[in-house]
Amino acid sequence: MRFDIITLFPELFEPLLTSGITRRAYESRIVDVRLWNPREYAEGNYRRVDDRPFGGGPGMVMLAEPLERCLQAIRADRGEALCAPLVLFSPIGQQLTHTAVQGWSESQGAVLLCGRYEGIDQRFIDTHVAAQISLGDFVLSGGEIAAMALLDAVARLQPGVLNDEGSHQFDSFNPALDGLLDSPHYTRPEVWQGQAVPESLLSGHHAKIERWRREQSLALTAKHRPELLVQARSAGGLSQSDEAFLSRLPEKGLSES
């Protein structure tokens, strides 16, 4: 899988690619990341990549020409019969979800375009962009952080990247949890500042532990992301035991044992 990143600030990606457990994916080229600076494809002494917007207004707009030349260089380097999609990180894009990340993790990759300034000449977008992605209803200074979020989420799903092969399967939003939030986690000491680890987790009774975790997942989801419960119910992901627990939840609240 290969991701080509078009960015004016390739140095921002250095910590991501060389730090943390996901660096295994990049160092081994399981997730092959290549950085391209459109300034290297700009003309003139100043290598301009932006200009003032037609119609006036604040800020600058990224020029289509250097982006076009940069993209063509990427296409030539990839040498693919079927061009990888060009993805733009944009407020109008579809919000990134676990399902979308799973799809990208099983793909051959993409070309990721990190916009800057007030945006990109719309003609380049209309001509080349195949998909747009948003992290949420807020604006970043550029697309680099969004691109790093996608790369990190994709990398950790690749076999051999995490120490425990199955650990990501029980992340929040994963189908293994029926798309619900993950349960709380505890470690040593058993009592910290007067707060004890829930008794169920110390019982050694696997079925009891799993039921505790499921109920905590249900309770947290009901409290913080109730729409995920609706989706899980519609998909047939909630058992009779789950529904019985949820029916008691207003009186019981989060389980302490």
C-alpha to C-alpha distance for 217 and 183, rounded to whole angstroms: 5
Q: Are 2 and 32 in contact (CB under 8 A)?
A: yes
- Of the residues 118, 152, 211, 225, only one is catalytic, namely 118
To the query of whether residue 188 is one of the catalytic residues in this protein, the response is: no
To the query of whether residue 164 is one of the catalytic residues in this protein, the response is: no
3-class DSSP state for residue 219? helix
- Of the residues 50, 66, 144, 156, only one is catalytic, namely 156
Cis ω before 184 (30° cut-off from 0): no
Start-to-end Cα distance in the chain? 44
To the query of whether residue 24 is one of the catalytic residues in this protein, the response is: no
- Of the residues 91, 190, 199, 210, only one is catalytic, namely 91
Instruction: Say how many C-beta atoms besides its own lie within 10 A of residue 241's C-beta.
Output: 12
- Of the residues 65, 68, 152, 171, only one is catalytic, namely 171
To the query of whether residue 11 is one of the catalytic residues in this protein, the response is: no
Helices (H) and strands (E) counted in the chain, each on its own, are 10, 9
Residues with catalytic annotation?
91, 118, 156, 171
